[in-house]
Amino acid sequence: MAQAKGKDISDLTVVILDRERHRQLIQECRDAGARIKLISDGDVAPAVAAAIDETGVDILWGIGGAPEGVLAAAALKCLGGDMQARLKPQNEEEYARCKAMGLSDPEQVLTLDDLVKSDDVYFAATGITDGDLLRGVRYSGRNVATTHSIALRGTTGTVRFIEATHQLDRKPHWYRPGA
């Protein structure tokens, strides 16, 4: 990875979910000399951040959820990034479900193109809390919120960062003062 990014291993930042199952992986990355950033949850954003140079994230590594993996794959397809994934069925029921979805070998390595077959894909996200990719919601003044979002388009590679100001009192269908 360091060679592909044109960096020394000591300059790589690897994001890993802080889980017991990742203890050996964390130690191996540290032993190799990479910087480690542990996260408690939210593994889609750092996967996307790894494909955007300005974020300081180089790679997301470890075991996460399948739905999150597909969301990350859609974003990476838009950004020209790459990833590999492998399902890890935890029991016979999950293994059978993988087979029913058409996976002849549920534990095979899946490429980005296996996960997202077309370039005609879109991805959008809005930050709720601060992260490497997006700022969280900011409340200012009376009944005003500012959000930071990203919108990606696969066919053109377009990346849009959107900052929006919301007049909350003009959105009565979901805003209740004092609630």
Specify whether 78 is located in the same domain as 144: no
Give bridge partners of residue 148 from the DSSP assignment. 163
Q: What is the pLDDT of residue 103?
A: 86
Run of H or E residues at 38: strand 35-39
Specify whether 67 is located in the same domain as 102: yes
CATH of the domain at 65: 3.40.190.90
Specify whether 84 is located in the same domain as 151: no
Specify whether 134 is located in the same domain as 50: no
At residue 147, what are phi and psi to the nearest 5 degrees?
Answer: -120, 155
Can you give the residue range of the structural domain that contains 142? 124-170
In a domain? residue 68: yes
Last residue of some domain: 117, 138, 162? 117
Specify whether 91 is located in the same domain as 145: no
Contact call for residues 98 and 89 (beta carbons, < 8 A):
yes
Specify whether 28 is located in the same domain as 113: yes
Q: Rounded to an integer, what distance in angstroms lies between the CA atom of residue 43 and that of residue 62?
A: 10
Q: Rounded to an integer, what distance in angstroms lies between the CA atom of residue 123 and that of residue 73?
A: 10
Q: Rounded to an integer, what distance in angstroms lies between the CA atom of residue 36 and that of residue 30?
A: 7
Question: In the structure encoding, which two tokens stand for residue 17, read together?
Answer: 């979910």
In a domain? residue 176: no
Specify whether 66 is located in the same domain as 153: no
Q: What is the pLDDT of residue 176?
A: 63
In a domain? residue 179: no
Q: What is the pLDDT of residue 171?
A: 84
Number of folded domains that form the chain: 2
Last residue of some domain: 83, 102, 117? 117
Specify whether 155 is located in the same domain as 135: yes
Q: Rounded to an integer, what distance in angstroms lies between the CA atom of residue 179 and that of residue 94?
A: 40
Q: What is the pLDDT of residue 174?
A: 67
In a domain? residue 88: yes
Specify whether 55 is located in the same domain as 131: no
Q: What is the pLDDT of residue 126?
A: 98
Residue 17: is it exposed, middle or buried by C-beta count within 10 angstroms (0-12/13-18/19+)? buried
In a domain? residue 175: no
Question: In the structure encoding, which two tokens stand for residue 48, read together?
Answer: 């996307």
**pLDDT tens per residue across all 179 residues of the chain:** 889 889 999 999 999 999 999 999 999 999 999 999 999 999 999 999 999 989 999 999 998 888 999 999 999 999 999 999 999 888 999 999 989 988 889 889 999 999 999 999 999 999 999 999 999 999 998 889 999 999 999 999 999 999 999 999 888 776 666 65
